[in-house]
Amino acid sequence: MNHANYYLLFDRIQIQAANAISGPLSYGFPSLNGFLGAIHALNRRLPESDGITLGGVLVACHHCDVQLYRPHAYADATFNQSRNPLKKNGDTAAIIEEGKVHLTVSLLVEVRKADQVWANLSQNPQASEWCTQVQNMLMQQRIAGGSVTSIGRTQLFESHQQDDMIAALLPAFVLMDAGQDLLAITRELQTGQQHLVNEFDEIQPACDENGAPLPSARPAQTEVTALDALIEVATLHHLPPDAKDSKEWRAYSVKSGRGWLVPLPVGYQGIAAPFAAGELAHCRTAEYPSQYVETIYSLGKWVFPFRLPENFQQCFWRYATPQDNLYLITQPPAH
Amino acid sequence: MQDITRADVQAAISGFLNDQFLKKAEPDIKRLEKAETEQNEAAIAAAQEALAQWRHKYSAPIWLDDAARRMAGQLKFGSHISKGIHPDAKGDNVNFSADTPLPEHLIGSQSAHALALDANGNAAALPLAAFFNTPVGAAQMVKLRQLITQNHPALQGCFADDAALSDEYQLLFQAALIGATDAPITHERNKQILWPRGEQAIVHDDYICLVPLYPSALTHAVYQQINQARYSEENKLARDNRFKKTAEHKPYVSITQLAITKLGGTKPQNVSQLTSAQGGRNYLLPNLPPKLQSSKAFKISAVAVTIFNKRLRYHSYRGWIEFDEVIKAKKSVMAVRDQRKLALQMILAEVFQIAERIQTQWPAGWSRDYQLSMAEKYWLDPDRADLEGEEAFKAACDAGDWAGEVIRSFALWLNQWLKETHTAIAEDFDEAEESEWRRAMASALRTSQRRFGRIYA
């Protein structure tokens, strides 16, 4: 939706016990689909007579409290589990592991109002009434599998009020796509030379002040795939002191200088041909076609709101039109 | 894969059967050895009989017949399994062939270097999965299952002496590997997602039901890769040597902040063979946002006259670090000036997070017991104005004159710290700088007051 004429801010949504396991390879913040799906569901519930549609979603996280236990700082964490009610025959139910997270997020949603605009937005009673209405609707929904316990407030912005929107999000971190960084890291592992994403979103080798290429912490491996790069993002290299430079051990991470990178599930890919509607037995819907899929990963980046790109449109996640067997949630490209 | 010959396949099959035989018959072989040294005739006979039974069971015609007719029907193979989503899910598994490459910035099963074949079902039939995973050929790079799914010509007559019977077995194996797709079935415990196909999904009623399966072959590859990085002898040695003065120091890696989920509880074999090999454990990588300094922990000392002190600086350290870096950087380039603005905004954001928490969460009237300046009390304890007997407070609060003093305190706080820590360039922070801090604070204060619908002068 490129013609959003308003933006709707759900400020400080508190979500209890959302799903912390965002995919088969990552935990922490719920997957994007949890938020986009909730807004999509909200959009479906809006009365048609309003002539209002919701578009892309900006996700900002204020607070993220994963319910886990880590015996000491270097140990692997396990998720806190809950005992579920007894089965019908009185046996204890088996524990199927789940991961929960308590969240405070702000969502900024593109709004398109087709027929007439709200005059004098900040004082417009209809606009504020509509805000209250959608806030109440969202309160009744689940977001990312968790219950909404409170929403700070709901406010409409006009599209030129970018600075006000950014100020309203503070302090928080906004989730951005970092697919280019994943490519740069893959190149770095393949060539053994540091690569960076420049301001035009292109990948180039990194150089020091004299123009000499900077070596990576790992020797070049031609066989490296994006999956290796994903694991590399979580890896910390401990390098012994150089004889001349220093006496201290150094730590090197491929993330340094690139921002706060995280693995990010961005959608699904079909792993078998799609079935026609009603063909797959025990499918929850016989109305629509169905398909077996697997989660697709990329990299994401948590960005402080002041560092967001000039082009504000770029910060909004949308359902892309499926192609090549891929069902993705994307942000518009930079250029 | 082209240079695989029939002899290679036959060698692989007989090698596999021999291994299975040795594994199962090991106790009896030992018993036989023992009996022979003791010259115990009865025991020798018993052990030999037992061995003969094993040999019969693992002879090619018997075992392959059993494998094709019984085991193949009792196992469900796949690279993506249904039970990984929920152990009770009884939907199809999918064997995904990673032929079509993904765009370079995406990661899926194609990104793994090698995908193992996973299986679940009757545990007694699991040797068949090992059979399919038998490497073939001199290089050992090709798996038997790859040949079977591709109908490789070298397989002809390998599974039985009779050509027709061999082909029949091959078809049965192939059917088991590919999985039946003519009657696809999923399960209520499988996650199912109604996915909008594009942005106009609501208008065109254009959805598809996606059924995600657990990519156990991919997660197995990740599990092994992480274990290899962490626990390889080389890495462990380098890590141990770090704190030994005499040893040679070498680089090592650590992977921290991981979480573990256990699939299948105490019976991971119920989920799948690969899951069982991992003891049900799966590594998850963290995708948490950075942690902001918690505003919960912030306290005001009862004798403090202002909140703009060292304690607040500690609680807004992220912005300060940023500010510090900007000041150290070469002066007054355009980009640096922009960065300074950002750092200032970051400090403000953190200050206001704390302020808003105090304003909204602390009980109204808390400031009565504190020595703070009145201006900061008006700012941080606005609800006190609504309490009984606080008419004077309310009047002064509404008048809004206090804002100027808060803004001044903020600018002073910032400037003082800059002068203290950057003594060499202390004179650079003069009136112009201070008025810049004031402007930024004033605008932030205005936004914050408006947010809560408070009067702002």
Q: Which residues contact B225 (CB under 8 A, 6 or more apart)?
A: A228, A231
Q: What is the mean pLDDT of residues A58-65?
A: 93
Report pLDDT for B27: 86
Name the DSSP class of B367: G
Confidence check: pLDDT of B315 > 50: yes
Q: What is the mean pLDDT of residues A178-203?
A: 88
State the Cα–Cα distance between residues B275 and B158, nearest whole angstrom: 31
Say which range, A122-136, A141-155, B22-36, B334-348, has the weakest mean pLDDT: B334-348
Backbone region of residue A261 per phi and psi (left: phi > 0; alpha: psi in -120 to 50; beta: other values): beta
Among the listed residues A108, A87, A100, the one whose alpha carbon sits nearest the alpha carbon of residue A165? A108
Of B80, B107, B254, the CB nearest to A297: B107
**For residue range B364-375, what is the model confidence (pLDDT) as tens digits?**
889 888 999 999
For chain B, what's the residue count?
457
Inform me whether the C-beta atom of residue A243 falls under 8 Å from chain B C-beta atoms: no
> Which of A163, A268, A293 to mutate to probe the B interface, most B CBs <10 Å?
A293
Confidence check: pLDDT of A116 > 80: no
Q: What is the mean pLDDT of residues B138-143?
A: 76
Report pLDDT for B227: 95
State the Cα–Cα distance between residues B415 and B366, nearest whole angstrom: 29
Q: What is the mean pLDDT of chain A?
A: 89
State the Cα–Cα distance between residues A265 and A98, nearest whole angstrom: 18
Confidence check: pLDDT of A253 > 90: no
Q: What is the mean pLDDT of residues B98-114?
A: 89
Of B211, B346, B447, the CB nearest to A290: B211
Tell me if the pTM is above 0.95: no
CB contact under 8 A, A238 and B242: yes
**For residue range B5-51, what is the model confidence (pLDDT) as tens digits?**
888 888 888 888 898 888 888 888 888 888 888 888 888 888 888 88
Of A25, A44, A321, the CB nearest to B202: A44
Among the listed residues A104, A103, A128, A113, the one whose alpha carbon sits nearest the alpha carbon of residue A43? A113
Q: Which of residues 294-333 of A touch B (CB under 8 A)?
A: 294-300, 302, 304, 306-307, 318-322, 324-327
**For residue range B394-404, what is the model confidence (pLDDT) as tens digits?**
888 888 888 89
Q: What is the mean pLDDT of chain B?
A: 85
**For residue range B324-371, what is the model confidence (pLDDT) as tens digits?**
777 776 555 556 666 777 788 778 888 888 888 888 888 988 988 899
More confident call, B368 vs B456: B368
Angle at alpha carbon of residue B206, lines to B200 and B208, rounded to 5°: 130
Q: Distance from B452 to chain A by nearest Cα, in Å? A: 10
State the Cα–Cα distance between residues A330 and A320, nearest whole angstrom: 6
**For residue range A263-306, what is the model confidence (pLDDT) as tens digits?**
999 999 999 999 999 999 999 999 999 999 999 999 999 988 87
Confidence check: pLDDT of B3 > 80: no
Q: What share of chain A in percent tops pLDDT 90?
A: 57
Inform me whether the C-beta atom of residue A67 falls under 8 Å from chain B C-beta atoms: no
Q: What is the mean pLDDT of residues A153-180?
A: 88
Report pLDDT for B200: 85
Confidence check: pLDDT of A2 > 80: no
Q: What is the mean pLDDT of residues B439-443?
A: 86
Residues of chain B with Cβ-Cβ distance to A321 below 8 Å are 197-199
Nearest CA in chain A to B346: A171
Q: Distance from B98 to chain A by nearest Cα, in Å? A: 9
More confident call, B415 vs A231: A231
Residues of chain B with Cβ-Cβ distance to A288 below 8 Å are 194, 207-209
Report pLDDT for B80: 93
Among the listed residues B282, B289, B274, the one whose alpha carbon sits nearest the alpha carbon of residue B258? B282
Contact A186, A36 (CB under 8 A): no
Taken in order B400, B406, B407, B408, the sign of the CA dihedral is positive
Peptide bond connecting B290 to the previous residue in cis, omega within 30 degrees of 0:
no
SS3 B332: coil
More confident call, B316 vs A29: A29
- The angle, 0 to 180 degrees and rounded to 10, between the axes of the packed helices A32-45 and A125-139 is 120
Inform me whether the C-beta atom of residue B253 falls under 8 Å from chain A C-beta atoms: yes
Q: Distance from A92 to chain B by nearest Cα, in Å? A: 14
Residue type at B37 in one-letter notation: T
Q: What is the mean pLDDT of residues B57-85?
A: 88
Q: Which of residues 135-154 of A touch B (CB under 8 A)?
A: 153
Among the listed residues B308, B342, B312, B350, the one whose alpha carbon sits nearest the alpha carbon of residue B325? B342
Report pLDDT for B6: 82
Q: Do the strands B259-262 and A52-66 form a parallel or antiparallel pair, or are they unpaired?
A: unpaired
ipTM of model over 0.90: yes
**For residue range A44-56, what is the model confidence (pLDDT) as tens digits?**
999 887 889 999 9
Q: What share of chain B in percent tops pLDDT 70?
A: 93
CB contact under 8 A, B212 and A77: no
Report pLDDT for B333: 58
Q: What is the dihedral of CA B278, B281, B283, B287, to 10 degrees?
A: 160
Confidence check: pLDDT of B293 > 80: no
Q: Which of residues 24-63 of A touch B (CB under 8 A)?
A: 24-29, 33, 37, 40, 43-44, 53, 55, 61-63
Band of pLDDT at residue B457, cut at 50, 70 and 90:
very low
Nearest CA in chain B to A302: B289
State the Cα–Cα distance between residues A314 and A312, nearest whole angstrom: 5
Of B108, B261, B265, the CB nearest to A21: B261
Q: What share of chain B in percent tops pLDDT 90?
A: 23
Q: A241: which 2 tokens?
A: 């002191």
State the Cα–Cα distance between residues B316 and B421, nearest whole angstrom: 16
Most confident stretch, A196-205, A209-218, B373-382: B373-382
Nearest CA in chain A to B440: A167
Q: What is the mean pLDDT of residues B188-217?
A: 92
Report pLDDT for A306: 75
